[in-house]
Amino acid sequence: MTGTNAPPTGERRPRIGSIAVRVALLGSAIVAAIVFRGALIAWFTGPFGAGRAADNRTAAAAPIAGSDADHVAYYTCSMHPAVHAAAPGKCPICSMDLTPVTREAERAGVIHVADDRRALLGIRTTRVVRAPIDLTITAKGRIAMDETRLHDVAIRIAGYISDLRVSATGQAVRRGDPLFRLYSPELYAAQQEYLIAGKNRGAMTAGDPGERLMRAAETKLRLWGVGDDQIAELARRGEPIERVAFASPASGVVVEKTVVDGAAVTAGQRLFRIADLDEIWVEAEVYEADLHRIIKGTPAAIALDYLPGTTFTGKVAFVDPYLDPASRTGRVRIALANRGLALKPDMYATVTFQLPLGPRLVVPTSAVIYTGPRRLVFVDLGNGALRPQDVTIGARSGDRVEIASGLAEGDVVVSAGNFLVAAESRVRSAGAFWEDRHGER
């Protein structure tokens, strides 16, 4: 049974939903096209696009030097710079008259940006000046012990340690403080020899065999580490000292300890290493490119992360005559007074060297564009013309960089917005100026 609204047999019911979707998609596409067209019009008629059109119209109105076709590289549209034509005509996109681009302008990469548009585009210029500049070299460093202020305590005769006064490394000692006592049968016998030889000391004359024996015994005691005051005490006592005390040869901190109380020791064995930390070294690793600038006496500033706001000053005491083959750095040593022992060995530090170079031609670092192996700046030629110029840069100091060649004092260069200018120059010159010597961009 069929209703009054049922389609006749064999007829297909139209798919209303799919038709609606198609209509909606078509409408969206039309709206998007209108919006995109409006955006293009806004861009090309805006400050930069209008400027290009005005510049090109001016160029078209002016006669071309040597107006024969040999001086024209190609014809382009001021609204569509991607259009390149071999002959005059209309733009295939907007039907505007094509304007000529000379080969010289193409090679030089010169562009024109009117003064009233520079502020809108953020383009600023500055003058090349000659001013004093300091080269700043920064290197990582490490606090190290002054090797000239290290003292080893080595025993010169075999024996046994007792009454050890230094219990652990890091303990501070002073020159003359007792470190330990030593019992040694050989040292005991040498004391007896000295006493026996000196019994008739008052009756001895110079060159007497007894006098020579006593002097030999005294020299033996000194060579074994017995001090003059101990030898005088031995003569006063008249009997050997069983356990002889040995004192510290220097003031400092015990950084190595290889003996314990009661240990047997042999001749030549090192028992302690004492470091005087009142003066320390800062060893900075300087890259080989900067190493030739640093000599003995160069001032340096040392900063440590754990002491923010505190700077230590010193002078270079030594420059290593060789490089580290792995890091390609040379070691530079600075001697510092270590008041209060604030600087501790193996701390990391940042070392800064300030080297005055005198007056040099300088520009802001923001004026230099790095493109492959080349360094470029844009020179303001006047009347809105900006030309890219190859330069050689030298030392850097803060936000300034030295210009070694390529500019003269008084030149005006772009110091802000130069990347936008560079992009426009690439378009205008079709990349001819921007190709490096190997033909790569």
Residue type, 354: Q
Q: Do 301 and 405 reside in the same domain of the chain?
A: no
Considering the domain boundaries, does residue 161 fall inside one?
yes
Last residue of a domain, one of 332, 357, 382: 357
pLDDT value at position 58? 37
Q: Do 375 and 406 reside in the same domain of the chain?
A: yes
Which stretch of 46-55, 104-113, 246-255, 426-435 has the lowest confidence by average pLDDT? 46-55
Which stretch of 51-60, 209-218, 342-351, 425-434 has the lowest confidence by average pLDDT? 51-60
Beta-bridged to residue 100, according to DSSP, are 75
Distance CA 407, CA 403 (A): 7
pLDDT in tens, 274-294: 999 999 999 999 999 899 999
Q: Which of 191-200, 281-290, 384-393, 394-403 has the highest average model confidence (pLDDT)?
A: 281-290
Sign of the torsion angle spanned by Cα atoms 48, 50, 53, 59: negative
CATH number at residue 117: 2.40.420.20
Distance CA 353, CA 294 (A): 8
Beta-bridged to residue 336, according to DSSP, are 280
Question: What would you report as the CA-atom Rg of the chain, rounded to the nearest whole angstrom?
Answer: 44
Residue 64, pLDDT > 60, answer no
Considering the domain boundaries, does residue 434 fall inside one?
no
Q: Do 283 and 142 reside in the same domain of the chain?
A: yes
Distance CA 209, CA 213 (A): 6
What is the DSSP code (8-state) at residue 297? T
CATH number at residue 246: 2.40.50.100
| Residue 324, helix vs strand vs coil | strand
Q: Do 304 and 247 reside in the same domain of the chain?
A: no
Residue 93, pLDDT > 50, answer yes
Considering the domain boundaries, does residue 324 fall inside one?
yes
Q: Do 289 and 402 reside in the same domain of the chain?
A: no
More confident: 112 or 332: 332
pLDDT in tens, 98-127: 877 677 766 667 777 777 778 888 889 999
Q: Do 165 and 237 reside in the same domain of the chain?
A: yes
Considering the domain boundaries, does residue 10 fall inside one?
no
Q: Do 306 and 401 reside in the same domain of the chain?
A: no
Which residue spans within 170-327 are E strands per DSSP?
172-173, 178-183, 243-247, 252-257, 264-265, 270-275, 279-287, 299-303, 311-324
Distance CA 266, CA 182 (A): 11
Considering the domain boundaries, does residue 54 fall inside one?
yes
Cα–chain center distance at 240: 64
Q: Do 267 and 284 reside in the same domain of the chain?
A: no
Give the number of residues written for the chain: 441
Q: Do 369 and 423 reside in the same domain of the chain?
A: yes
Which stretch of 345-359, 374-388, 427-441 has the lowest confidence by average pLDDT? 427-441
Which stretch of 20-34, 40-54, 118-132 has the lowest confidence by average pLDDT? 40-54
- Number of neighbours of residue 273 by Cβ within 10 angstroms: 19
CATH number at residue 313: 2.40.30.170
Q: Output the average pLDDT for the chain.
A: 80
Last residue of a domain, one of 305, 326, 357: 357
Distance CA 67, CA 76 (A): 16
Residue 327, pLDDT > 80, answer yes
Considering the domain boundaries, does residue 158 fall inside one?
yes
Q: Do 183 and 253 reside in the same domain of the chain?
A: yes
Q: Do 116 and 172 reside in the same domain of the chain?
A: no
Residues ≥6 apart with Cβ < 8 Å to 189: none
* Structural domain span for residue 181: 151-275
Q: What is the pTM of this model?
A: 0.60
pLDDT value at position 371? 83
Instruction: Write b or e for each residue in 410-426: b if 16 or more Cβ atoms lie within 10 A of its Cβ, otherwise e.
Output: ebbbbbbbbeebbebbb
Considering the domain boundaries, does residue 435 fall inside one?
no
Considering the domain boundaries, does residue 374 fall inside one?
yes
Residue type, 41: I
CB of 92 within 8 A of CB of 100?
Answer: no
Q: Do 95 and 63 reside in the same domain of the chain?
A: yes
Which residue in the block uniquely carries the two structure tokens 């030594």? 318
CA atoms within 13 A on the CB side of 333: 13
Q: What is the count of structural domains for the chain?
A: 4
Last residue of a domain, one of 325, 357, 389: 357
